[in-house]
Amino acid sequence: MNLYNFMNEIDETILNRGLLYFKDGHVLGTKVLSNGWVEVLVVGHDDYTVSVQLADDGTILKANCACPYRGGPICKHEVAAFYSLSHSFTPKESPLASLLKSLSIETLVAELLKVADENPMIYERLMAYQQPQDQLATFERQLEEMVAKHIQFGHEISGKAVQHFVDDLYELLGQIKEQASVQLKVEMMLLCREECEGVDNQIDDSDAIFSEFLGELHAQLQSLIFATIDYHQDIDEVFSLLISRLRKNTTWVDFELLDLLCEYGQEPRYLQPIIHYIEMMVEVVEEKVKGSLYKVWYELLAKYEEESLDAFLERHADVPVLTEFRVEQFVSQARYEEAIPLILELEAFEENRFDATWKLYRYTIYEKMKDIEGMKKLAYELFVGGNFDYYAKLKKLYGEAFPFIYESLKLEMRRLDKQELYLKMIETEKDQEALLAYVKEDLRYIERFASLLWDTFETEVHHLYEQYIKQELMKVSHRSGYRRICAIFRRYRPFTTDEAYETLIHQLIAMYPRRRALIEELQLLLHELEEESSNQHVEQLSIDIA
């Protein structure tokens, strides 16, 4: 405790009483003794002598009072004595101080430089006397020199060169952390961030080490900003610094910096300038950026000024991204009737023409509302639009009336040429008449539907498979194509008799006598058939003998 700072270390009530005693003239005299002791006479209900021992620099080494006060280590009489002594005390100058004052500036500078070179701690302590703006200018120059050392204009760096660059950046980040002023740290980090953004396109960051540094830099900046908010240290200065940096760019938005600035939104005096900035930028940025700005604006109000949210949403009802927020708000409050028209608006936007996301969302709302008619209509739309998952929902919604809807859907699918949906539907229903008709239109599908048709239309399946094989054979003229035809033959095998199978093979050999490769592949099929028949004959003999 010192005569110049004792006010910070004494109970406030006792401090105020002692100060009142001093101001009211209760200190009557001071007597200087030996070894730094001083006696101060303070008059209260009685006359009290306060004894104080002081060091040459004003440090209070010991203090005691003759009064009966036992409520703490310091009484009001001692406080009054301290105030009196602080007004009259003149620290004794040490011999070294007297000597230093007698030396020339040149001699002092030369000696300090020597000592600072030998002792890094002294160097850092002396550098602390540098003014913040001087320190910032020095740092900026150092940063620019470091970047110039590693990166030449127009040249990309990669591999170890990137590692060396990032190592130097981390060293600079370490220097920033050692600064005493929060504002200065933030300014330095922003300079470092801007410099990194300027050279980002010249760095081959295959190992992501540069990205990791940028992440660490952002985390450190975020931590500093949280500290200014939590401890109110340089809070006004840092806020002004951040918003001025954002305002420097009049055509684009640094969203990473804006997100950091929004942390100040919890304070009303900061919230309005942030909103004013967003409001200003919404008018000048490109359309694709506006949605992101409106989103930040909405989130600020939702977090810090919820009472103004409804008015905000109403005022900007034509902004798609805000319409989405209104929908979420209404749904969370079970205001489904109000949400539906907004979702229909979103579905109508040009960018959502081929995106069924909002239709799907609307369906879930109809489910919550138990709106069966709405669900039927929308499930029909979604199915016709290509979402087969809604076929099962339609079937469940219509129940016994579904056969009529099924016939309607078949006609609609054929009209709209939605072939795959049509096929999935008739396959799901095992609609053999429709499947057979479709296979007759496109013989390729006999392979897909043969097993479904076989029980009822055995002859037709046999005939259509033969037609399909002949059709495909007309399209090929080389061995790989012939092998594909033989693969189809093998898949056809379960749906015909040995006799018909063999007859078709011989028929094709006769049709194409000059295609040696085809004949060789078809003869392999005949050989497989003979082996199969032989094996079956041996098995039958074994059974008969047994």
Residue pLDDT, tens place only, 157-196: 999 999 999 999 999 999 898 887 888 999 999 999 999 9
Task: Report pLDDT for 124.
Answer: 66
Q: Could you state, in order of their start, the residue ranges of all structural domains in the chain? A: 6-92, 159-233, 442-545
Mean pLDDT score, 108-137 = 76
89 CB burial (10 A radius; 0-12, 13-18, 19+): middle
| Per-residue b or e along 479-506, where b marks 16 or more CB atoms closer than 10 Å to that residue's CB | eebbeebbeebeebeebbeeeebbebbe
pLDDT-derived band of residue 542, with 50, 70 and 90 as boundaries? low
Sign of the dihedral through C-alpha 518, 521, 527, 529: negative
Phi, psi of 305 (to 5 degrees): -145, 60
Residue pLDDT, tens place only, 435-491: 999 999 999 999 999 999 999 999 999 999 999 999 999 999 899 999 999 999 999
Residue pLDDT, tens place only, 272-293: 999 999 999 998 988 888 888 9
Question: What are the tokens at 261?
Answer: 């600035």
Phi-psi group of 58: left, alpha or beta (phi > 0 → left; psi -120 to 50 → alpha; rest → beta): left
Terminal Cα-to-Cα distance of the chain (whole angstroms): 116
Task: Report pLDDT for 56.
Answer: 83
**Percentage of the chain lying above the pLDDT 70 cut:** 95
pTM of the model: 0.51
Helices (H), 399-478: 402-415, 419-428, 432-441, 446-453, 458-473
**pLDDT at residue 116 is higher than 90:** no
Please provide the size of the chain in residues.
546
Radius of gyration in angstroms for the set of CA atoms belonging to the chain, rounded to a whole number: 45
| Per-residue b or e along 328-337, where b marks 16 or more CB atoms closer than 10 Å to that residue's CB | ebbbeeeebe
**pLDDT at residue 65 is higher than 70:** yes
Task: Report pLDDT for 406.
Answer: 94
pLDDT-derived band of residue 536, with 50, 70 and 90 as boundaries? low
Mean pLDDT score, 54-72 = 87
Task: Report pLDDT for 88.
Answer: 79
- 254 Cβ contact list (under 8 Å, min separation 6): 245, 246
**How many Å apart are CA 146 and CA 255, to the nearest integer?**
27
Most confident residue range from 94-108, 168-182, 227-241, 366-380: 366-380
Tell me if 357 sits within 8 A of 385, measured CB to CB: no
Task: Report pLDDT for 261.
Answer: 93
Task: Report pLDDT for 525.
Answer: 93
Residue pLDDT, tens place only, 487-526: 999 999 999 998 999 999 999 999 999 999 999 999 999 9
